Amino acid sequence: MLQRSFVFECSTGTYLECIEKGVFGSNVPWPLEVRKGDYCLLRHYEVGTVFALWRAETDGGRKLVPRAWGGRFPFQARVALVSPGIIEVPAKVVEDYIASPATGRHDNVIEGKRAEGLLRALRGLVQWHEE
Protein backbone atom coordinates (compact mmCIF):
# COMPACT_ATOMS: atom_id res chain seq x y z
CA MET A 1 0.00 0.00 0.00
CA LEU A 2 1.24 3.48 -0.85
CA GLN A 3 2.56 5.30 2.23
CA ARG A 4 1.06 8.77 2.63
CA SER A 5 1.52 11.59 5.10
CA PHE A 6 -0.21 14.93 5.23
CA VAL A 7 1.32 18.25 6.19
CA PHE A 8 -1.21 20.77 7.46
CA GLU A 9 -0.27 24.39 8.07
CA CYS A 10 -0.81 26.73 10.97
CA SER A 11 0.09 30.21 12.12
CA THR A 12 0.55 31.62 15.58
CA GLY A 13 -3.15 32.51 15.50
CA THR A 14 -4.38 29.00 14.58
CA TYR A 15 -1.87 26.64 16.25
CA LEU A 16 -3.51 26.43 19.68
CA GLU A 17 -6.95 25.70 18.28
CA CYS A 18 -5.50 22.84 16.20
CA ILE A 19 -3.96 21.32 19.31
CA GLU A 20 -6.88 21.92 21.68
CA LYS A 21 -9.58 20.65 19.33
CA GLY A 22 -7.54 17.78 17.84
CA VAL A 23 -8.43 18.88 14.34
CA PHE A 24 -6.33 20.18 11.44
CA GLY A 25 -7.87 22.07 8.55
CA SER A 26 -7.41 23.88 5.27
CA ASN A 27 -9.38 26.23 3.07
CA VAL A 28 -8.62 24.07 0.00
CA PRO A 29 -10.01 20.52 -0.38
CA TRP A 30 -6.86 18.34 -0.25
CA PRO A 31 -7.69 17.15 3.34
CA LEU A 32 -10.55 15.17 1.80
CA GLU A 33 -7.81 12.71 0.69
CA VAL A 34 -6.89 11.93 4.33
CA ARG A 35 -7.87 8.44 5.47
CA LYS A 36 -8.18 7.20 9.02
CA GLY A 37 -4.71 6.09 10.17
CA ASP A 38 -2.72 8.40 7.88
CA TYR A 39 0.12 10.29 9.52
CA CYS A 40 -0.32 14.04 9.88
CA LEU A 41 2.11 16.84 10.67
CA LEU A 42 1.57 20.51 11.36
CA ARG A 43 3.89 23.05 9.72
CA HIS A 44 4.07 26.44 11.43
CA TYR A 45 4.84 28.60 8.43
CA GLU A 46 5.61 31.75 10.44
CA VAL A 47 8.21 30.10 12.68
CA GLY A 48 9.66 27.58 10.21
CA THR A 49 9.08 24.45 12.28
CA VAL A 50 7.13 21.26 11.77
CA PHE A 51 5.25 19.66 14.65
CA ALA A 52 4.74 15.90 14.78
CA LEU A 53 3.29 13.35 15.00
CA TRP A 54 -0.41 12.66 14.72
CA ARG A 55 -2.56 10.06 13.04
CA ALA A 56 -5.92 10.79 11.49
CA GLU A 57 -8.75 9.49 13.68
CA THR A 58 -11.23 9.96 10.86
CA ASP A 59 -11.25 10.28 7.11
CA GLY A 60 -10.96 13.89 6.01
CA GLY A 61 -14.24 15.72 5.66
CA ARG A 62 -16.04 19.03 5.57
CA LYS A 63 -16.72 20.95 8.77
CA LEU A 64 -16.02 18.07 11.16
CA VAL A 65 -15.66 20.78 13.82
CA PRO A 66 -17.82 23.50 12.24
CA ARG A 67 -16.83 26.36 14.54
CA ALA A 68 -13.07 25.71 14.45
CA TRP A 69 -11.17 28.81 13.33
CA GLY A 70 -14.45 30.65 12.84
CA GLY A 71 -15.31 28.36 9.92
CA ARG A 72 -12.38 29.62 7.79
CA PHE A 73 -10.88 26.14 7.23
CA PRO A 74 -13.77 23.79 6.42
CA PHE A 75 -11.74 20.88 4.99
CA GLN A 76 -10.61 19.00 8.08
CA ALA A 77 -9.26 15.83 9.66
CA ARG A 78 -9.55 14.85 13.31
CA VAL A 79 -6.16 13.83 14.66
CA ALA A 80 -4.66 12.14 17.72
CA LEU A 81 -1.08 12.45 18.89
CA VAL A 82 0.89 9.21 18.48
CA SER A 83 4.27 10.42 19.70
CA PRO A 84 4.82 10.73 23.47
CA GLY A 85 4.57 14.50 23.10
CA ILE A 86 4.50 17.06 20.34
CA ILE A 87 7.84 16.98 18.52
CA GLU A 88 9.10 20.33 17.24
CA VAL A 89 11.33 19.73 14.23
CA PRO A 90 13.14 22.51 12.36
CA ALA A 91 11.65 22.48 8.85
CA LYS A 92 15.14 22.15 7.35
CA VAL A 93 15.43 18.65 8.91
CA VAL A 94 12.47 17.39 6.86
CA GLU A 95 12.68 19.83 3.93
CA ASP A 96 13.78 17.15 1.44
CA TYR A 97 10.60 15.22 2.15
CA ILE A 98 7.98 17.95 2.41
CA ALA A 99 9.17 20.24 -0.40
CA SER A 100 8.27 19.38 -3.97
CA PRO A 101 11.38 18.39 -5.94
CA ALA A 102 9.93 20.14 -8.99
CA THR A 103 9.00 23.49 -7.43
CA GLY A 104 10.67 23.67 -4.02
CA ARG A 105 7.31 24.63 -2.50
CA HIS A 106 5.93 22.72 0.45
CA ASP A 107 3.50 19.96 -0.44
CA ASN A 108 0.56 19.06 1.75
CA VAL A 109 0.23 15.52 0.44
CA ILE A 110 3.43 13.47 0.72
CA GLU A 111 3.40 10.04 -0.93
CA GLY A 112 5.59 7.05 -1.65
CA LYS A 113 9.34 7.27 -1.06
CA ARG A 114 9.11 10.85 0.21
CA ALA A 115 6.54 9.80 2.85
CA GLU A 116 8.67 6.80 3.84
CA GLY A 117 11.76 9.03 4.15
CA LEU A 118 9.84 11.57 6.21
CA LEU A 119 8.71 8.92 8.68
CA ARG A 120 12.24 7.47 8.87
CA ALA A 121 13.62 10.93 9.66
CA LEU A 122 11.02 11.39 12.40
CA ARG A 123 11.68 7.92 13.84
CA GLY A 124 15.31 9.00 14.24
CA LEU A 125 14.07 11.73 16.59
CA VAL A 126 11.43 9.92 18.65
CA GLN A 127 9.61 6.62 19.06
CA TRP A 128 5.85 6.41 18.77
CA HIS A 129 3.11 3.85 19.23
CA GLU A 130 2.12 2.03 16.04
CA GLU A 131 -1.42 0.66 15.80
Question: According to the model, what pLDDT value does residue 126 have?
Answer: 66
Structural class in CATH, domain 4-123 = alpha beta
pLDDT score at 12: 95
Predicted confidence (pLDDT) at residue 85 exceeds the cutoff of 60: yes
Taking the model in full, what pTM does it have?
0.90
- Buried/exposed 15-38: b ≥16 CB within 10 Å, e otherwise: bebbbebebbbbeeeebebbeeeb
Q: How many CB atoms lie within 10 A of CB 48?
A: 11
The answer to whether residue 14 scores a pLDDT higher than 90 is yes
